Each structure stands twice: as structure tokens, then as C-alpha cells.
Amino acid sequence: MAKGKALPFFLGANTPKGFYSLYDQYVSTQRGDFLYVLKGGPGCGKSSFMRRIAEAALDSGLDVEYILCSGDPDSLDGVYIPEKRIAYVDGTAPHVLEPDCCGAAGAYLDLSRYLDTAALQHKLPELLDLQRRYKAKYAHAYTLLRALPSFSPEALDGLLTEDDYAAAAHRAESAANRMPKTQRKTPVEPRTRFLRAFSAKGESFCTETVRALCDKVYLLDDRLGLADTYLKALMSAAQKRRHALILCPDPLAPERLEAVLLPELRLGYIAERTVGLEGLPAARHIRLDKIPDETRTSAFRARLRALTRQRAELLSQAQLSLAQAKTLHDALEAQYNPHVNFAGVLAEAKTHVQRIIR
């Protein structure tokens, strides 16, 4: 039996406005999805529980959407098995989530019952101290990130004109008009996911997902900031042609798009400002930076270089705070781990695997 495809995404982002969540768009009750919401403290096995289910589903030939933690991409915050319409999610802060219609469209899984609460009560002062300290590091990172918009090309008045934006949109509409029409009679609601996250490890990009969904990727120039205009025009035109879309906001500026994927056409359009694009399939460039008048943009060249350096330094400092937060959170989990019945957690995961894979 062929193994299923693993499709990693993010649903959360560390942004200049704090934690930004797409978790409310994770599943659809109207589409028939059933959501299990996991509750429990740090280090109590939520990620291990979901990983066990995901691995079993992949081995049985089912595709699995992995939701990676935006604070630590090595940890799981959710798994979704589209063919079975079943999803699991860590429903604890900062992405607190509840089932839409408990019992009919979702249920709670309380993993805190596998904790030795009597033993943990003796550790309360240490646990509270670690919680306070790691949250303070996140707050410091967000304070640094608040300055980020000032170091983007969009902050430079006079760099781009309305004609430049219109030309970028026109190129996108022309690209969409060359796409084959679908046979659908009604539009498809696009899905929204992050392909990238800014975390304790820096910027992480879900290259594996793009490779799995796209045979051809178009890379968009974005040194001057025109990719968002192109992608939003492409989105609008493709929706009118009733294509299924995955919309991917920029995790450091979620009001901007950084990618549009069309899985049914095996196409992807991604802003080149994004990291981790090496080795993507059949990549071609769309030269949006050639649209504006070169005489005008050349006057901004030195300022753009300076902004790039300043932005990189700011992100480096914010990453350091996030890395310190992760170290403290790891220490918090280490306090919990000896008092978790992991055998019980994994036994419960096994019962879910048996129900899903029959």
C-alpha cells in the first residue's frame, strides 16, 4: 500500500500585533468535519498523541494535514485527515478552541486526567515561575516585532504608484484567464493556511507541502512589495473561474498574501521575499520588480538595502527572545513529564487509530 502524503501547514503566527490565529478556519462543520479538541497542560502528550494518529493514517495510505506549532515547528498543534473528515487540535492557549457543536461535530479529549496532580501540586511555585518567565519572553519578542512594518518596502512613500499596482494586478488577471475553466456551478470556499512561520528557529517554510501539491511554481519578485497586489488579483480572478484555492498570508504581515496554491491545477504562486524556496518544482520568475520606472526606483536603492539590513537585525533580536521562550517552555514541560502517564495517553491514541483505520 502506498503511503499517504504529509502536508504540513501553520495556523498561527507571531506577528507585530501579537499572536495571530487561523484556528477558527481549521475545519468546517458544514463540510462534515469532526473536531477533537485536546486539553491538558504543557508536556502532557498532546503532540505525541496526535503524531501517533497521523503516522498510522499515513501508513494506511491516507493523506494527513499536519498543523505545526508556530512557536516550535518540531511540535504538533493539530492533524487533519481529509478523507475521514476527522481532525485533532491542541485547544489550549494561545489558540483556545472549542467544538462548534459538541457531540455532533466535535468532542473534548482531556489529557489532564493522565497527570499526577498530587505530585504537581508540590511543584506549583516552580511551574508558575517558568510560566511567567516564558510569557515575558514572548511579550518582549512581540514588542520588537511591532517595529517591523517600518522596515518594509511599503513604508517608503513614492516608491510605487497606482499605475504600478494596476499593472501588477493586470498581469495576475491575464495569468488567471489562461487557466482552464472548471465544471463547477458554484464557487469553492478557499482554505487559508500559513506556509511559513517566524519561530524560535527563525523563519520556517513548508517546502514539502508545496512539492506535494504543485508541479509548477511561479516565484514573484517582491523586493518592491508588489507580490501582494498580484496575488490578491490572482485570487479574485481564479475564484471567478471557480478554482479551489489555498490562500497563504504572510505570517509577519497577515493582511498581505505571500502565496496562492491551486492544488487541482498543480500550480503555486509564491512571493520571493519568502525563505526556503530552493528546489521547488519547475520554478519560473514573474518579474514584478521590472514594472515600476527604473529611474524612480533606483533613487530608493540605498534606502531599500538599509531597510533590509535593519529588518534582518530586528528579526534576529526577536528570534532570540522566542528561542529563550522555548528554552523556558521546554523546562516547564520537563517539570511535567515525570508526572504524566504516557502509556495511558498512547493507549488512548491507539483506540482512535483503530476507529479511524478499519
pLDDT digits (tens, 9 = 90+) for 298-313: 999 999 999 999 999 9
Regarding whether 275 and 190 lie in a shared domain, the answer is yes
Regarding whether 74 and 185 lie in a shared domain, the answer is no
133 occurs within a structural domain: no
Q: What's the chain's average pLDDT?
A: 95
Query: Quick count: other Cβ atoms within 10 Å of Cβ 107?
Result: 12
| Residue 187: per-residue pLDDT | 84
- Tell me the three cell numbers of residue 98: 472549542
Residue with the larger pLDDT of the pair 79 and 100: 79
Regarding whether 168 and 273 lie in a shared domain, the answer is yes
Regarding whether 277 and 176 lie in a shared domain, the answer is yes
Q: Is the predicted pLDDT of residue 279 greater than 80, yes or no?
A: no
> How many domains is the chain partitioned into structurally?
2
Regarding whether 164 and 35 lie in a shared domain, the answer is no
The parent domain of residue 57 ranges over 6-115+340-356
In the structure, what pLDDT confidence band is assigned to residue 1 with cuts at 50, 70 and 90? Answer: confident
Regarding whether 200 and 72 lie in a shared domain, the answer is no
- Tell me the three cell numbers of residue 216: 509548477
Regarding whether 163 and 293 lie in a shared domain, the answer is yes
120 occurs within a structural domain: no
236 occurs within a structural domain: yes
143 occurs within a structural domain: no
Q: Is the predicted pLDDT of residue 238 greater than 90, yes or no?
A: yes
123 occurs within a structural domain: no
274 occurs within a structural domain: yes
Regarding whether 162 and 294 lie in a shared domain, the answer is yes
Outline where the chain has alpha helix (H).
46-59, 117-121, 124-145, 162-177, 207-213, 227-240, 294-298, 301-336, 342-356
Regarding whether 279 and 162 lie in a shared domain, the answer is yes
Regarding whether 98 and 199 lie in a shared domain, the answer is no
Measure the CA–CA gap between 91 and 12, rounded to whole angstroms.
12
Regarding whether 211 and 276 lie in a shared domain, the answer is yes
Regarding whether 171 and 265 lie in a shared domain, the answer is yes
134 occurs within a structural domain: no
Measure the CA–CA gap between 187 and 239, rounded to whole angstroms.
7
In the structure, what pLDDT confidence band is assigned to residue 336 with cuts at 50, 70 and 90? Answer: very high
239 occurs within a structural domain: yes
